[in-house]
Chain A
């Protein structure tokens, strides 16, 4: 697949710490690519260097064969959806969207049609003459998205654009965002610390920790085959037993010992936590290791102090290197 964005050995050091420590990655054209990591892992700094708000100490940023290093932000064919949206408060939603077109020297007569098509695309056709102060959080987010997309950037940067929305809205907007990206075919580079968001939205995910990339892969790959303990733990809960990792949903529990061919440990039930769609039964082995097993509603229920068998299939063990 053709590469849109290529980062090569990117480095950035701030006075007390190395924030970005040798990042190299390739974002294929038309891909929904996520940089996933905890806050302070350097993902926002990478985004700012691509947008041109910060310059790398060394390393290259190549977009569709063109070197972006040293170009001013307004010279780069890249736009950003900011975490705070950064909508211009003195301009209406439509004027906000028109801003980039006007700067790009678009024919004035062609602007209204492009703006209203964009408003329609994000479902804001009725709200074009509203000022940002009278838009809801979701409407602001969509205006910011429309404003960045209307100039048809070669790459769209999204800086945790869903983090300011309430959870129910966030899930809906997530689906819309994914559909929009597929329809427009624009390359998205999405920054998030929310693993569920990254897993549901992305074609490719680069998991970052302390300025370095831990693993790059499809959502399935990094969830089912995490390369490091950090990736395994960051993407979901893991039971660690003698250096082997198993997710709670692959960890089974029963009163009788199961058939052969499975890993088996005896344990004592400590608590059972209701999560809505299932229970998490927390147990402790004789060796003192805490193990959580997922139990469906229709399965047998367990009480504190029950002596149980914990088991899993070897194929469900996470193939973590370290």
Chain B
């Protein structure tokens, strides 16, 4: 039995050690080194990379990332909740079709889909063309290359991650409770507010975490839809490893981001744990 257990764990353990723990150790090592003259890393050991994190310049980028990720997460939950409720209440026959539709975007690359958004939003894009031809506006609206475009892109990209945990939570909700609430005089809105949302708190938290974390580390969406003007932490890290050639500082930012996410997750997990009691 024990040997079987080891055998079953081996692929995942090997995968994690080789592709995650080893690279992570390298990054930790790099973060205490100095930038090489032609890129790469060199001695001596230093804490300087971490001290630089407190530069107000980077603080602004971190703050912007948090604000935009929060906005994207809030919008995702706002859109995903009614959608998940609709799917959960649908006929068993339709449920699977709706769920397929939710994950349908995953069939194509995220990069391609983000480019599609550029074609929609740019000055000569679909939305502006329609508005112009209908004479609703006289010059193109600045839809692309701003923070709103980035948030729209993030919401689009991570919406399925919010729908799925909410759906699984809502689908398991005892329908008798909804009838009991109505029976005791609760309107549909009151039932949602006092019964459905409180009982969906675990699903809402899971959805929030699953959207917020990838949003915080996003670099493709802000790069393409933000036009490099409103960069997020992901872009900052990317820059350090490419144009700036400052791998030690890039490593330090990566680790700081990981630490931030871990603190957030632990706070949420503790709450879930308390509720389970």
Binding site for B on A (CB under 8 A): 51-53, 72-74, 78-80, 82, 84, 86-90, 99-100, 103-104, 147-148, 151
Q: Which of A53, A90, A147 contacts B184 (CB 8 A)?
A: A147
User: Total number of A-B contacts with CB less than 8 angstroms?
Assistant: 57
State the CA gap A151–B184 with chains docked (Å): 8
Whether B185 lies near A86 (C-beta < 8 A) is no
Known: A82-B176, A84-B176, A86-B174. A51 touches B194 (CB 8 A): no
**Which residues on A sit within 8 Å (CB–CB) of B187?**
74
**Which residues on A sit within 8 Å (CB–CB) of B198?**
90
Known: A88-B195, A89-B199, A90-B198. A103 touches B176 (CB 8 A): no
Whether A82 lies near B180 (C-beta < 8 A) is yes
Known: A88-B195, A90-B199. A100 touches B185 (CB 8 A): yes
State the CA gap A80–B177 with chains docked (Å): 12
Give chain B's interface secondary structure class.
Answer: helix
Interface residue count for B (Cβ, 8 Å)?
17
Q: Can you name 24 A-B pairs with beta carbons within 8 Å?
A: A51-B183, A52-B182, A72-B182, A73-B179, A74-B182, A74-B184, A74-B186, A79-B184, A82-B176, A86-B176, A86-B180, A87-B180, A88-B180, A88-B181, A88-B195, A89-B177, A90-B199, A99-B186, A103-B184, A103-B186, A104-B185, A148-B184, A151-B184, A151-B185
Task: Give the residues from 160 to 200 in chain B that come closer than 8 angstroms, CB to CB, to chain A.
Answer: 174, 176-177, 179-187, 190, 194-195, 198-199
Q: Which residue of B lies closest to A51 (CB)?
A: B183
State the CA gap A84–B177 with chains docked (Å): 10
Whether A103 lies near B180 (C-beta < 8 A) is no
Q: Which residue of A lies closest to B185 (CB)?
A: A103
**Which residues on B sit within 8 Å (CB–CB) of A100?**
184-185
**Which residues on B sit within 8 Å (CB–CB) of A73?**
179, 182-183
Whether A88 lies near B183 (C-beta < 8 A) is no
State the CA gap A88–B199 with chains docked (Å): 9
**Which residues on B sit within 8 Å (CB–CB) of A103?**
184-186, 190
